[in-house]
Amino acid sequence: MMLTCQEFLRNPDRYVRLGARPPRGVLLVGLPGTGKTLLAKAVAGEADVPFISCSASEFVELYVGMGASRVRDLFARAKKEAPSIIFIDEIDAVAKTRDGKFHIVSNDEREQTLNQLLTEMDGFDSNSAVIVLGATNRADVLDPALRRPGRFDRVVTVETPDRIGRESILKVHVSKKELPLAKDVYIGDIASMTTGFTGADLANLVNEAALLAGRKNKVVVEKIDFIEAVERSIAGIEKKTAKLQGCEKGVVARHEAGHAVVGTSVANLLPGQPRVQKLSILPRSGGALGFTYIPPTNEDRYLLFIDELRGRLVTLLGGRAAEEIVYSGRVSTGALDDIRRATDMAYKAIAEYGLSPTIGPVSISTLSNGGMDESGGSVPWGRDQGQLVDLVQKEVKALLQSALEVALSIVRINRTVVEGLGAQLEEKEKVEGEELQKWLRLVVAPTELAIFMEGKQQTLLPLQTDS
């Protein structure tokens, strides 16, 4: 789509002679840092036309009418310099839906500005070589009138880059900074470790690696510097002075050892799964007291199979299971984040992915809203909605309880490994490499894990209810 815009601005006759009209607007939608603004600038540069850039917040003023006046001036300038590109960043600041959901009243300045924007986009001549690019990370709140054909004809989703894209982005930043790299640095390996990173994240990663090398007075940036930079991006910065003391150190060490042992047990049953590479009990700036590093897979993944999802649930609860077994049922609050993430994953599995045999392939949010409504409105589902919520909660609790029971069985059968690895981690604060793998090679997977990952364990274990 972006190439079509470039070609039209460069050679409009190629399309006009066939009766094709130019696209009026292109909406760029993506997470912050994915490069929406850079993409718009690149289109203008490739097309070699004037690029008129502004932020939607510039249209919002205290005095009514000022925003609409600025929109008129902007489009008048663009038509005068046509062919040209108008780029409106964070367009959701003035283009929120007008159904009252976002508290926009009839005399609101934002609504007048939006109306003027809609009018200007409709007022283009059929041969007007002006294209409007809008960028937002909140496409769900935009007014439907803005997205109809004839205004923003196209929606381009700017996603996080894949491995090839990340490698290309890293090469750009490395060459731009003229980073002296050590011989052990291969950009492809760094790209494989950064699944899910945006362009802004990758730029920060290169800078962080250079800073780490500079602090150690190195003359080149080594692979270890990039690995530490990735860990900082994922888990936060290690606190060198704030170290765990006393019994807390032992609890966190066994907790992380539990994650490693359970994660290894799961990986033994799922071919191609990444293995635990590092354990640490040095507190980090994100609030984590420990860190179990499992690198992403070598290939970008877009789907998650049900057995992999169940394996992740068990791995997340491995830390709590280790505490319960090692300390005879006495558990700590250290599993807060693990439980939060596991609950979110279990809820999505049942309410969104349709993986519950009891509820079936049903989207709970769509069902409770009375179906999908393009205008953003929803219809109450009725008195049975409460029963539906109760059923989902029971299913989520049953799934999580089953995952915890399986994690407990893994820790029981590998208790020697958990306690031995935990003791070594408590002493050294970091365990990695061959020292870690020596322990993890002793891990075995119990039958209960295989049954659970096949989707049968939930029906075998009784649902525990609150007394």
Determine contact, residues 54/88, Cβ cutoff 8 Å: yes
| pLDDT at residue number 372 | 61
| pLDDT at residue number 9 | 62
Least confident piece of the model among 19-33, 103-117, 324-338: 103-117
Backbone dihedral region for residue 433 (phi beyond 0: left; psi -120 to 50: alpha; all else: beta): left
Q: With bands split at pLDDT 50, 70 and 90, how would you rate the model's confidence at 459?
A: very low
Is the pLDDT higher at 397 or at 56?
397
| pLDDT at residue number 237 | 78
Active-site residue numbers? Answer: 256
Determine contact, residues 414/260, Cβ cutoff 8 Å: no
Q: What is the mean pLDDT of the chain?
A: 81
* Top-level class of domain 246-460: mainly alpha
| pLDDT at residue number 146 | 82
Q: How far apart are CA 355 and CA 372, in angstroms?
A: 21
Phi, psi of 86 (to 5 degrees): -100, 130
**Both structure tokens of 279:** 């354990």
Is the pLDDT higher at 254 or at 362?
254
Is the pLDDT higher at 65 or at 52?
52
Determine contact, residues 450/459, Cβ cutoff 8 Å: no
Q: With bands split at pLDDT 50, 70 and 90, how would you rate the model's confidence at 418?
A: very high
What pLDDT digit, counting tens, does each position of 73-117 carry? 888 888 888 778 888 888 887 777 766 544 444 446 677 778 788
Percent of the residues in the chain that have a pLDDT greater than 90, as a whole number: 23
Q: What is the CATH number of domain 163-235?
A: 1.10.8.60
What pLDDT digit, counting tens, does each position of 245-293 carry? 778 888 999 999 999 999 999 999 988 788 888 898 888 776 778 888 8
Of 140, 100, 124, nearest to 23 by C-alpha is 124
pTM for this entry? 0.76
CB neighbour list of residue 402: distance below 8 Å, 6 or more residues apart: 452, 457, 458, 461
| pLDDT at residue number 85 | 84
What pLDDT digit, counting tens, does each position of 124-157 carry? 555 567 788 888 888 878 888 888 877 887 888 8
Phi, psi of 280 (to 5 degrees): -150, 145
Q: For residue 267, what are the CA distances in angstroms to 96, 191, 271, 445?
A: 46, 23, 7, 9
Going from N- to C-terminal start, the domains of the chain cover 2-158, 163-235, 246-460
Determine contact, residues 52/82, Cβ cutoff 8 Å: no
| pLDDT at residue number 382 | 46
| pLDDT at residue number 124 | 54
Q: Note whether 2-158 and 246-460 share their fold.
A: no
Is the pLDDT higher at 65 or at 432?
432
| pLDDT at residue number 339 | 94
Determine contact, residues 136/158, Cβ cutoff 8 Å: no
Topology of domain 2-158 in CATH is: Rossmann fold (3.40.50)
